[in-house]
Each structure stands twice: as C-alpha cells, then as structure tokens.
Amino acid sequence: MQRGDYRQAAKLHSNAKTNSELDRLASAFRDMAGRVEAREQILDGLVKSRTQELESKNALLEVSQERINEQLDFANSLQQAALPVQFPLENAYLSGGARMIPALQVGGDFYDCFPLSNDRLGIVMADVSGKGVAAAFFATMARNAVREAAATELSPAKCLARANRELCARNPILLFVTLNYAVFDLRRRTIVLASAGHLEPFLRREGEPVAALRCAQGVALGILPDVEFQESSYQLVKGDTLFFFTDGINEAINARDEQFGEVRLIAALKRSEGLSARATLDNVFDSIDDFVGSTAQFDDMTAAVLQVS
C-alpha cells in the first residue's frame, strides 16, 4: 500500500477469506483507513488555509516594512538636511567642511556650527548613546539645547552645564550624549574648547606632529544634572587644521576585526597636509573606506574639518 493511499484498504475485502474473524479484521482496517484518510484531508485543508493566511500576513508585513523604510528614508533625508552644509562666516579667516554617515537610516551622531557675536563661530561635535530613531530624536534635543544655551553668549563650559540640565530634565529613557563645544574667534585665531566626555579633536600644524587638543573630560550630557565643566584655550596660527570626530571614525573595523585607530587617522591627516579642509575630509573618509573594504558599518561616522586661513 502506498503511503497516503488508503483506498488500497478496500481490496482487503475481496482478498480476505470468508472467515468471520478475518472479515471483522478487514472491516476494522477499512474503517480505520477511512478515518485516517478523512483526518489527512482535514489536515491538508488546514495546512493550505494556514499557508494562505501566512502568505497574506507576510504580504502585509512586506508592505508595512516598505512603509517603515520609506519613513526612515524620509527621516534620513531630513536629518541630513538639518545639518550645516558649510560653515557660516566662511571667508578669508576660515574654511571648513563636515560629514555624517549613519550606520542605520538615522543616526545618533551630529555636528553643528553657528555664528556668534564679534566674528566668532560655535562648533559642536556629538555622539548619542545607542543608534536608530531614539538616538536621532535625542540628538535633535541635544543640538537644540546647546544652541539655546550658546545663544545667551555663555562660555563653552557654562553652555554645556546649561544644556546638560535641560537634557537631564527631559530624558525619560536615560540616553546620554558625549559632546565637544568650541568657540572659534575668527579675527584673533583662538579657540576655547569644553568637553562632555567626548574625543579630543586633533590639530594639524605645518612642520609639527598631529596632536590632540587636550581638554578636561567632563561627564556626558543627560546623566547628572548638577555638574560643572572646564574649558581650555588655544592660540591658532594661519594654516592650522582642526579635526573633530566621533568614535565611529577611529573604531571603524575591517574584515580582520581590526580598528582603524588613531595611528591610521593621524597618518591620514598627515598625508593631507597642504590640502583644503574639504579635501582633508575626503582623504580621511577614503582612507577609512580602503581600510574597512566590504565590512558593514557598525557605528555612525561623523567628522568636521576647520582650517584657519
């Protein structure tokens, strides 16, 4: 008897002897085969029904996912559009450029630059904990908080303290952001820097090794409401290049699980001597692309270059 063909059981009646015991056995087997066949038909129907339901639900999920991806693409476009394309007050004193590449459709990194009174420029480089939509929303909150504080002409340290209190008061899911805020005086060629636990920017000066601008590391914003920050001042000279960045740059990983690292970053900045701010930015990102190859990006990558003219 072939599997699933229970009609073969009917032949048992014609082949069986007239013995009553065998008749009863054949009859019982035919009844059992009929019940099994009926049950199999019911199961086949249920499987087909469930398969159709799954196909229908999968189709709905695909449509929903397409809508979500479409909305995230819109969010990415808006997030990129909200970032400054070029530095304000870019003139005989200054040139610059910046770039943010999120690991997901939207990112938690951000940069900002805005004009202040007396030919000064505010510069922000920041990295929110986590990734995705929540981090992107918190990044917007952090950016607005810093801008509002900076508009009151506070020093970088006091600006971070005020922004931190604002974020701590509106942080239900306990995110935080590391951040550098610097004020660049265009005419005097000075920079005042305060850090909320963020990576120190690098200074490239002709004839000297590329070095970090040392600054006291304060607590990341959004954790403790009543903290103070410190700031450091530096005198710059014509031709100096400042490189602000997030850890997605130096922690970019290749197929051998190696990090790009500060040594390679410094080498890329050194190779960029004599290039414009935007060319320096391109050179760094090209160096990272060559290093990581086809390895998927796991963290947001953001950098800004400021060149003193």
3-state helix, strand, coil in the chain (%, to 5): 45, 20, 35
Mean pLDDT for the chain overall: 86
- The region of weakest confidence among 31-35, 164-168, 176-180, 190-194 is 31-35
pLDDT at 8: 55
pTM of the model: 0.77
- The region of weakest confidence among 29-38, 193-202, 222-231 is 29-38
pLDDT at 52 over 50: yes
For residue 16, name the pLDDT band (cuts at 50, 70, 90). very low
Return the number of other C-beta atoms located less than 10 Å from residue 8's C-beta. 10
Q: Average of pLDDT values for 278-294?
A: 95
More confident residue, 235 or 107: 235
pLDDT digits (tens, 9 = 90+) for 239-256: 999 999 999 999 999 999
Return the number of other C-beta atoms located less than 10 Å from residue 210's C-beta. 19
Identity of the amino acid at 289:
D
pLDDT digits (tens, 9 = 90+) for 137-153: 899 999 999 999 999 98
For residue 227, name the pLDDT band (cuts at 50, 70, 90). very high
Closest Cα to residue 131, out of 223, 260, 246, 238? 246
Percent of the chain exceeding pLDDT 70 equals: 84
What are the C-alpha distances in Å from 8 to residues 17, 26, 29, 42, 59?
17, 12, 11, 20, 41
Give the containing element (helix H, strand E) for 48: helix 20-82
Whole-angstrom distance between the N-terminal and C-terminal Cα of the chain? 92
Q: Average of pLDDT values for 204-217?
A: 94
pLDDT at 74: 53
Q: Average of pLDDT values for 88-108?
A: 78
Q: Average of pLDDT values for 216-223?
A: 95
